[in-house]
Structure 1
């Protein structure tokens, strides 16, 4: 059970290791592309069809028709990677249970956006966790964990792309352990739990009263999507990459400065944040030099 690119390597590694995937459950096709006129298939569906796997795309996970179709597959185990919250009738169905792969070292960063919040908070390490699903989201008993570093300039997108392969390896390890019964469960310590709530556009506005490092971590944690933003000439200016520089100044936080050739910098609490890759509303994403070729600061 999964939908985006993040879930594809886990499905692939199970197939490559000879496991019988009796069905793939994914999201319904969505309109997208230019003008949102093209019907787009989820990445997991595309991969599954290429491999000749049975695909189910329920709009309602509680519908009797879906429950019956799922039961007819007679799965021993259900594997969930980047999917929706499941009703008990679904996760309690297979005899060996249902486990989920989560993109954090639980109980840290329970919720929808664990990679983003780990980078935003300046963490130097994250990881992946497999756990058996129960009622409360991301609270089930832990099967296995694997750790990975976060580089000081690494974006959430770059962490995501490395993590999905680490996660796939952990999924394989978990399935093998459940198959043989060779595992020990660990209860999560709720007192150590932190949350990683869904991110909205309003969440992504940059606060330049923070330190340059905090601004840098915020930009990294939202790059490439949904992207941190500020405003320029009344338009939304998305910032995908930048770099902090500590320096004394008397400017108000959020003040723009530029030489109109090579740099744009914005005043923060303890220095400047230099913009490297940006996108002004109505324009394409570009580096700062290309942007300044078509834009002049007064």
Structure 2
């Protein structure tokens, strides 16, 4: 086995990627540069805020590059001059042209939050929850010019719990991805991995989330409504109309009773939640947010707004 530390360029942007960068920084390998998205306006003041990956890189005095694109020859030359053995890409947000994929000695590898070829694309964590999958995981992949189509180098499974939201699943997968990445580096450096081609016939595509997807369609079966509430927490958060207001639904659970009321009708409201009829069955909404207020348990909300959630009121 090769004991020579790898020269690594790391490319990533959000918290999910920062977890992997932190893990690589704990190894003997040398991170020679970090690529991340340009700073974006955030918060009420809309001040420019660095990405979580940039913030971590600066803490470790690493050179940071934030090009708008890697398509032009000048940017590609800057990358080539870093003389990296490997580029690690985790939720970076820029497409890598073939010239970039070919630059490092060992190419570019990606930490992807699904068991490929299932859920290629931008939102694999959310789409797994929305589809009712019971397992997901991490795939480390050798990148090629396609969208998440490269050969698989290693995999790790993760059970999706009934209580999981996209937020909780994201956090577990971020840790799992960082661990698997570190475990994959030594055999990759030594040339002892056996890349496995993906079976394209099994591929599914995880489309990018749109805010409007969060609107609840009460004609759906109760089970699907609950999956959507979990899958869209913490973003974009499910919502429905309550009178003239947008009511945000942060958590919901299946209600045992089958009902024959019009979908969207409030059946009851008490300290346990607001029961709502669906196309099949009913759900119990347990954490809600009215405009101008904060997300809170239903029992707190009912103290001030009980009449708004009276049986017979229609949502949506």
Contact 1:262/1:292 (CA < 8 Å) preserved in 2?
no
Residue aligning to 1:123: 133
Residue 8 (structure 1) shift:
1.2
> Could you tell me how far apart the structure 1 residues matched to 2:236 and 2:254 are?
21
Residue aligning to 1:82: 91
Runs of 4+ in 1 over 4 A off after TM superposition: none
TM-score (normalizing by structure 2): 0.90
TM-score (normalizing by structure 1): 0.95
**Which of these residues, 60, 75, 98, is aligned with residue 51 of structure 1?**
60
Residue 185 (structure 1) shift:
0.9
Please state if 1:99 is matched with 2:109.
yes
Residue 147 (structure 1) shift:
0.3
Contact 2:272/2:286 (CA < 8 Å) preserved in 1?
no
**RMSD of aligned residue pairs (Cα, Å):** 1.5
> Could you tell me how far apart the structure 1 residues matched to 2:131 and 2:277 are?
21
**Which of these residues, 131, 142, 149, is aligned with residue 152 of structure 2?**
142
Contact 1:247/1:270 (CA < 8 Å) preserved in 2?
no
Contact 1:261/1:293 (CA < 8 Å) preserved in 2?
no
Please state if 1:231 is matched with 2:246.
no
Contact 2:136/2:160 (CA < 8 Å) preserved in 1?
yes
Residue aligning to 2:8: none
Greater shift, 25-34 or 173-182, is seen at: 173-182
**Which of these residues, 244, 249, 257, is aligned with residue 254 of structure 2?**
244
**Which of these residues, 49, 52, 63, is aligned with residue 40 of structure 1?**
49
What is the count of residue pairs matched by the alignment?
Answer: 297
Contact 2:255/2:282 (CA < 8 Å) preserved in 1?
yes
Q: Unmatched 5+ residue regions in structure 2?
A: 1-10, 311-316
Q: Secondary structure at the match of 2:264?
A: coil
Alignment of 1:66-215 (within 5 A): 66-84=75-93, 85-215=95-225
Q: Secondary structure at the match of 2:289?
A: strand
> Could you tell me how far apart the structure 1 residues matched to 2:303 and 2:186 are?
56
> Could you tell me how far apart the structure 2 residues matched to 1:278 and 1:82 are?
30
> Could you tell me how far apart the structure 2 residues matched to 1:136 and 1:290 are?
50
Q: Secondary structure at the match of 1:31?
A: strand
> Could you tell me how far apart the structure 1 residues matched to 2:144 and 2:258 are?
52
CA change 1:178–1:259 in 2 (3 A) is closer
Q: Deviations over 1:126-176 (max 9, x none)?
A: 000011111110001111110010001211110100010100011112221
CA change 1:42–1:185 in 2 (3 A) is same
